[in-house]
Structure 1
Amino acid sequence: MKKNILLLLLGISITVSCKSNKEKPQLAGNPIFSGWYADPEGIIFDNEYWVYPTFSAPYEKQVFLDAFSSKDLVNWKKHEKIIDTSAVKWAHKALWAPSIIKKDDNYFLFFGANDIQNNEELGGIGVAISSTPEGPFKDHLGKPLIDKFHNGAQPIDQFVFKDIDNQYYLIYGGWKHCNIAKLNPDFTGFVPFDDGTTFKEITPESYVEGPFMFVKDGKYYFMWSEGGWTGPDYSVAYAIADSPFGPFKRVDKILEQDKNIGTGAGHHSVIISKKQDKYYIVYHRRPLTETDGNSRVVCIDEMKFDKDGYILPVKITNEGVATNRLK
């Protein structure tokens, strides 16, 4: 009798314990995967999260790109070398800041290469194509899509943006200048605007690099990085406008370092789950133990808005976000 009571109590204890564990959400933890990575582009493809970062290393060693996928934001699978310089003959270093989008049955991966300093150097922004999000990707053009400085913008840090009318734009630029250009249907070039220009400058106050844009409630949110990427002032700010061309008036800074958690937080993107009305900011930062500029890791925290649609300051965390399956 005593044995049966003991087993019964033990069974109840196990049941309660299991229920408690099931109700407690699992946290991803930051960084979300190991290794030195930066400039992450986060996106959803077919109910799966994807992150495409820069491999953070000296420029001459940045000759490939990896990707990471997850079904729940917690467990990440690494897809090694989805593209490298053997597939892009004109690129030889500084493969930077990938941006990806699906159009029809193909995935188009935009990237910067060679860190060109003037119009005489070979390099700039390229585009690659694959039938799957994990690649392998092959060079779409055999040459850069943009290989010159326009309006003072270094051709790096590209973001491909699909507008609500299904027009695709490329938003890009370093050296404190940002351009927007209208992509043609097959992403082999650009369509001039009505005034005959191809590259329109949309640079807001304090812009340095790393542009990102999304639409929420009919408004265009334009985000960018400020400060120096190796310094403590690296951060993310934003503006809001009624069109992708602005004018963009800086609202505020919403992501920056926390001296108790990590430094140099910036160069971000946003994963948007529209069905769940969830916004996740994906960014890089430098661990407190590191001083090398290339020692950067990829992190995710939730991004929220106030009742008027303004972005609330993001608190960077070590815990990260809770598990979230899209299905």
Structure 2
Amino acid sequence: MKHILLSGILLATLVSGYAQQSDKNNNPVFEGWYADPEGIIFGDQYWIYPTYSAPYEKQVFFDAFSSPDLVHWTKHEKVLDTANVKWAKRAVWAPSIIENGGKYFLFFGANDIQSNEEYGGIGVAVADRPEGPFRDHLGKPLIDKFYNGAQPIDQFVFRDADGTHYLIYGGWKHCNIAKLNEDFTGFIPFDNGETFREVTPENYVEGPFMFIRDGKYYFMWSEGGWTGPDYSVAYAIADSPMGPFKRIGKILQQDMDIATGAGHHSVIKVPEKDRWYIVYHRRPLGETDRNSRETCIEEMHFDEDGLIRPVKITDEGVKSDPLR
């Protein structure tokens, strides 16, 4: 009888523990102040590469996080440090990563340059593994000037269906696209001779991201000011990565019952499934420091016309979704 009773208690405890784990709020997805997250899948792991959210002078490294299921995360500290990028001194922002030829290339902004007279811009680092360590690929910035009015920050590397790689980037309400060469050391001019083509949609501010679904190019960006309540994510759809991109509307913004300043996102598609997640940052209620930003994930859905349904930000986040 005692054995049966103890077994029943143990079973109840296990069931209770499972329920608590299942019902656990999963946003933010990991501890710490992190912003501008790029989510991606390498092998059987989800990865997130965010900006370390702190005063500019302290933004001198990137941490990364990996997970088998979007719920349990492992922190990989300082996968890139400015000690390995001699020209980058501060404001290391918005990493974007891609695997190419067995190497992992991490694009990043540094130094927050305000004019062509300052040194910095967009760089690229390389490693043999997703967790690094990453080393400077060029020994200098890949883009160190303003073109078409775009501040060289908030870079996103995009692989088209034909294998062509593009760098889409830009702050100060301007966005450019440029075609990368094979080893990511420079760019290939477009047929008309230009290297940096402006593709800025209405209300664009920063944080571009692009993906393909059903042959259509979805171009997404952040609007508003990153320190304010109007920060949000909007999108457009086109037949080409060059656009033209006509703004459709916002799909992610703050909820005053949950958090403020929701924006600067990325998107993860689960392989071989029409399942999508949006990874973004937001500011907890009551936090007034501009750097108090945390990384969160929600499911992202489409309607029957292929339009993105508005995303509701939550504390629950997403449930476990193992890749194996």
Question: Is the CA contact 2:25–2:315 (under 8 Å) kept in the aligned structure 1?
Answer: no
Residue 289 (structure 1) shift: 2.3
Counterpart for residue 172 of structure 2: 175
Residue 27 (structure 1) shift: 5.0
**Are 2:69 and 1:69 aligned?**
no
SS in 1 for 2:187: coil
Provide the C-alpha distance between the structure 1 equivalents of 2:126 and 2:164, rounded to a whole number of angstroms. 19
Counterpart for residue 250 of structure 1: 247
Residues 50-89 of structure 1 aligned to structure 2 (within 5 Å): 50-89=47-86
**Are 2:136 and 1:139 aligned?**
yes
Residues 118-197 of structure 1 aligned to structure 2 (within 5 Å): 118-197=115-194
Residues 40-55 of structure 1 aligned to structure 2 (within 5 Å): 40-55=37-52
Residue 274 (structure 1) shift: 2.9
The share of aligned pairs that are identical, in percent, is 70
For residues 128-181 of structure 1, give each alpha carbon's deviation from its aligned partner in whole angstroms, at most 9, with x where no partner exists. 000000001000000000000001000000000000000000000000000000
Q: Which runs of 5+ in 1 are unaligned?
A: none
Larger radius of gyration: 1
Question: Is the CA contact 1:27–1:322 (under 8 Å) kept in the aligned structure 2?
Answer: no
Residues 227-246 of structure 1 aligned to structure 2 (within 5 Å): 227-246=224-243
Give the letter for the 2:92 counterpart: L
Q: Which runs of 5+ in 2 are unaligned?
A: none
Provide the C-alpha distance between the structure 1 equivalents of 2:16 and 2:83, rounded to a whole number of angstroms. 51
Give the letter for the 2:137 counterpart: H
Give the letter for the 2:241 counterpart: P
Question: Is the CA contact 1:27–1:320 (under 8 Å) kept in the aligned structure 2?
Answer: no
Provide the C-alpha distance between the structure 1 equivalents of 2:108 and 2:261, rounded to a whole number of angstroms. 22
Provide the C-alpha distance between the structure 2 equivalents of 1:26 and 1:326, rounded to a whole number of angstroms. 21
TM-score (norm 1): 0.95
Counterpart for residue 109 of structure 2: 112
Residues 2-41 of structure 1 aligned to structure 2 (within 5 Å): 3=1, 25=22, 29-41=26-38
How many residues align structurally? 323
Provide the C-alpha distance between the structure 1 equivalents of 2:10 and 2:60, rounded to a whole number of angstroms. 52
Provide the C-alpha distance between the structure 2 equivalents of 1:55 and 1:11, rounded to a whole number of angstroms. 47
Specify whether residues 125 and 15 from structure 1 end up closer, same or farther in structure 2 by C-alpha distance, changes over 3 A only.
same
For residues 27-85 of structure 1, give each alpha carbon's deviation from its aligned partner in whole angstroms, at most 9, with x where no partner exists. 56111111111000000001100000001011111111110111111111111111111
Provide the C-alpha distance between the structure 1 equivalents of 2:62 and 2:6, rounded to a whole number of angstroms. 52
Provide the C-alpha distance between the structure 1 equivalents of 2:147 and 2:176, rounded to a whole number of angstroms. 8
